[in-house]
Amino acid sequence: MNLNFTSFLSCLFICLFASSQNKIDIYATFDIENKSINIEQTIEYFNTSNVTLDTIYLTDWSNSYSEKDTPLAERFAEEFKNTFHFAKDEDRGFTLINSIKQNNTNTSFSYLDKHPDILKVVLNSPLAPNKSYTLKLSYTVQIANDKFTRYGITEEGDYNLRYWYITPAVFNGEWKYFSNKNLDDAFVPKADISLEVNYPNNYTLISELDEEFTKEINENNTKSTLLKGKDRINSKLFLNKKDTYKTVETDFFTVESNIDEENLEPEEVAIVTDKVAGFITKNLGSYPHKKVLLTKIDYKKSPIYGLNLLPDFVRPFSDTFQYELKILKSTLHNYLENTLLINPREDQWLIDGIQTYYLMKYVEEFYPDMKILGKLANVWGVRAFHASDLKFNDQYNFLYMHMARSNLDQPLDMPKDSLLKFNKNIANKYKAGVGLKYLDEYMDLNSMNKMLTQYLIENKLETTTSEAFKDYLKTHTDKNINWFFDDYLGTSKKIDFKIKSVEKTDDSLTITIKNKKDHLMPVSLFTIKNDSVISKQWIEGFKGYKTITIANNDADKLALNYDTTIPEMNLRNNWKSLGGFLSNNKPLQFRLFKDIEDPNYSQVFFMPEFAYNFYDGFSPGLKLYNKTLLSKNFLYKLSPKYAIKSKQIVGSASVSYADRRENKRNYYTKYGIGGEYYNYAPNLSYTSYTPYVDFRFRDPDNLRDNRKSSLSFRYVNIDREVDPTGEFETDGEPKYSVFNARYGESDPNLKNFSAWNTDLQLAKNFGKISATAEFRKLTEGNRQYNLRLYAGSFIYNKTYQDTDFFSFALDRPTDYLFDYDYLGRSEEAGLLSQQLVVSEGGFKSQLEPAFANQWITTANTSTTIWRYIMAYGDLGLVKNHGKNPKFVYDAGIRLNLVEDYFELYLPVYSNLGWEIAQPNYDQSIRFIVTLSPQTLLKLFTRRWY
């Protein structure tokens, strides 16, 4: 009797539990001709909170492509990605909802104003706690082109889909909904999914759900496939004309993948896949689903960055190692994403950290001797670099340190959509993994691995958070780990320890350590003899100074963080020799080409360098410098060259110090002095030297905001050679000094660009002030409007009667401060004289008066005609002493090939009349060209920083 009653209660509990599962049933019909999907859908969702709901929210990320001002579109614009903005309307997707019904009665629904991919649905009857609602939806999804996010419809007509149907938003006491921003981070509650798909029979369907059946529908040449999955959050669907996926049955789960197999034989692929599956199962527990789906789309969106991305003919790693890590990274991500149910917008660091931790652990276990340069580390010449000494896993700390040294790192617990692209894709993932390794070493090796394994098993397919993870770790260790969550995870504070002093006696060492930053993170102390570790101990976190006494064990060296487990900013101050003062000096080391910094040496790098201008010709030379692959505060550079045309030694030199401040509006201050010696005219040289200080400002709480401002002061000293023959008359004073102060603000964005600056120049014989403002607007109709305003006036001018060298220029500044990269700065005829620098007056036609020795004001405009072809126009007033202001204008065609970097200007009409009809018109064409590799690189890096 008791047994029957117990069985009854158990069955009742199981039935109630089963009935409380969220369910999504979808009947989807693909309309290939119209690139759309017709969907009939049922959503059954349980209210697990203690709040009665009369309004619920649904996530419809297919509709995030519908307009040019959605959060997704704004994200593209922020990262200077213009593909979406300039796309055809038919390439952008949307959702057309026919009806949403509850109990066969239409509900009231609407998209949120600020979230056009979030649906607000007013229920016909309130939803009480522990009750469910059932909605029936009928809608059509127009599929977007895959060129925006890699998901969508391809040019070949394949369908690669993710977040393609409507899902419930999460309610856990408050609604957790947010818009698509191409971060692959939808917060979807787990549900039992049933998906029936009708599609043409010349397509192959691939899904991570379990296939129940596929049947032919002969009368219309289509197929129907029924897919099911229990406790799912993902239902990627791929409908491809050619099946590129291959299946490997491992001893642990099935892997279906179309990731490039690196020309491996099927047997090798099977061995590698089984090895990876075994490692993951051992460390993360059994996978609760039958199949893991790995796609080249996901791998391309999150590859293993570094030398793995090099072309095959220079790739330093074996095909097996390449494929092994690709499969490992992709499988880890899919496993964690499908089993660790977190809010990925808020807690993504947890998945990223665990993934990177096990990537590192895998290499440590199976490839402990693998170097960061792979096979290249043993190549003659390459092995001389310090980079060849680094282990493969050192890259994770290195790439995070790239952002930390640049003061661009962000806290790990910052929302994913607030991160810079480099931090989101690389630095924060690696910092999270390195941090778990740091915590592992601190708590005693392998304790973290055991805790992670148990945590993942206990929380599999259960909603969890960073706070829950913190509580779990704290209850499973006696160590104080608050520093990890408070300082390492919750801030962007840097780590930098230093051995301040050592007092040595016969039996003890008294060591004073300085924590140069404001945090409570621990540090490891090593005693070393003959380059072998004698002892290691952890010192609990402290602020300021800490003095400890340890036994004198005949060590010859003390070192902090000797194994570099801690991601420390500066390793150069981490050791002390116990053999005397002189032995602490680091030997000087010369290295060809830039290298990773070796903290054991004072490094000087040298490399060939080349320059060109019309007067010196091709100028090869040598650059001596101390800049490493990671940013440094103190930099110097000496760059002598031999000018083949002028047959002179030319070149430049500079010294600077950068003061980078954390979490301050004045985030960067740079002090320096630079000088150069080149020719500015045929056989006439100039020498310049300029001490300066630059202040840069930004919002410390929002690094994604492109708005920045700067204030700079410099004292420019120029000494120009005078032609002793008198054949070339030096325009203006040959020797002069100018104090220059500048302030400017800029907000560069794809759709709306704005910038303004002021400039003050004071010299012995003149003083002038000017202001510039620029605005660019890209409209919804793909038309761009540009406006530039400039005004300048002399405060005093004692030079106007003798020269226009210091005057405001209407179209071609004389560049007496030698700021611009003129290829031929003194040319008055020929191609080089047609080089345009849009500065001062900004005119394109060469008009009279060409200079203003009193004041000038101009407006430069342009607008789109078609794509990169634009019409431009300039207006201005030029005032010279003793003359009335002269009204000037010009207009023409602008070929905006790469804005600010490569442009052509074709004058049409101006004060000169119809220029296009005048003789020698080709000499009136102006061009902008940028040859500086560092400047060109900004075209690409601006998307990442």
CA 615 to chain centre: 40
Quote the CA–CA distance of 818 and 742 in Å, as a whole number. 16
The predicted pLDDT at position 817 comes to 92
Do the beta carbons of residue 176 and residue 189 sit within 8 Å?
no
Q: Which residues of 48-83 are buried (b: 16+ CB within 10 A; e: fewer)?
A: beeeebeebbbbbbbbbbbebebbbbbbbbbbeeee
Three-class SS state of 521: coil
**Amino acid, res. 749:** N
Which range among 2-6, 199-203, 598-602 shows the weakest confidence by mean pLDDT?
A: 2-6
What average pLDDT does range 215-235 have in this prediction?
Answer: 89
Task: Determine phi and psi for 842, rounding to 5 degrees.
Answer: 70, 15
What average pLDDT does range 69-87 have in this prediction?
Answer: 92
- DSSP string of 579-605? S-SGGGSPPEEEEES-----TTSEEEE
- The closest of 433, 18, 388, 366 to 192, measured between CA atoms, is 18
The predicted pLDDT at position 419 comes to 95
- DSSP string of 623-643? EEE---SS--SEEEEEEEEEE
Cis omega before residue 311 (within 30°)?
no
Three-class SS state of 644: coil
Which residues are 787's β-sheet partners? 775, 861
Quote the CA–CA distance of 726 and 723 in Å, as a whole number. 5
Torsion of CA 439, 443, 446, 449, to 10 degrees: -50
What average pLDDT does range 602-606 have in this prediction?
Answer: 86
DSSP secondary-structure letter at 145?
B
Do the beta carbons of residue 161 and residue 192 sit within 8 Å?
no
**Amino acid, res. 880:** N
The predicted pLDDT at position 10 comes to 43
CA-atom Rg of the chain in angstroms: 33
CA 814 to chain centre: 38
The predicted pLDDT at position 354 comes to 97
Quote the CA–CA distance of 414 and 428 in Å, as a whole number. 10
- Does 776 or 309 have the greater pLDDT score? 776
The predicted pLDDT at position 581 comes to 52
The predicted pLDDT at position 376 comes to 84
Q: Is the pLDDT of residue 283 over 60?
A: yes
The predicted pLDDT at position 310 comes to 65
By DSSP bridging, strand 36-46 and strand 23-31 are antiparallel
How much of the chain, in percent, has pLDDT values that exceed 70? 94
The predicted pLDDT at position 833 comes to 87
Residue 3 binned pLDDT confidence (cut-offs 50, 70, 90): very low
Q: Is the pLDDT of residue 724 over 70?
A: yes
Number of neighbours of residue 463 by Cβ within 10 angstroms: 16
Residue 97 binned pLDDT confidence (cut-offs 50, 70, 90): very high
Q: Which residues of 529-558 are buried (b: 16+ CB within 10 A; e: fewer)?
A: eeeeeeeeeebebbeeebeeeeeeeebebb
- 201 Cβ contact partners less than 8 Å away, ≥ 6 residues apart: 216, 221, 222, 223
Quote the CA–CA distance of 309 and 302 in Å, as a whole number. 12
Residue 17 binned pLDDT confidence (cut-offs 50, 70, 90): very low
What does the pLDDT look like over 509-540, one tens digit per residue?
999 999 999 999 999 999 999 889 999 999 99
Three-class SS state of 790: strand
Number of neighbours of residue 894 by Cβ within 10 angstroms: 24
HSE toward the beta carbon, residue 872, CA cutoff 13 A: 26
The predicted pLDDT at position 932 comes to 64
By DSSP bridging, strand 617-625 and strand 634-643 are antiparallel
What average pLDDT does range 709-722 have in this prediction?
Answer: 94
Across all residues in the chain, what is the average pLDDT? 90
Q: Is the pLDDT of residue 424 over 60?
A: yes
Dihedral sign (CA 154, 157, 160, 163) = positive
Three-class SS state of 436: helix
Query: What's the whole-model pTM score?
Result: 0.90
Q: Is the pLDDT of residue 19 over 50?
A: no
Quote the CA–CA distance of 633 and 405 in Å, as a whole number. 9
What does the pLDDT look like over 43-70, one tens digit per residue?
999 998 899 999 999 999 999 999 999 9
- Does 848 or 597 have the greater pLDDT score? 848
Do the beta carbons of residue 853 and residue 797 sit within 8 Å?
yes
The predicted pLDDT at position 291 comes to 95
- 612 Cβ contact partners less than 8 Å away, ≥ 6 residues apart: 618, 619, 823, 931
C-alpha angle 325/329/332, rounded to 5°?
Answer: 135
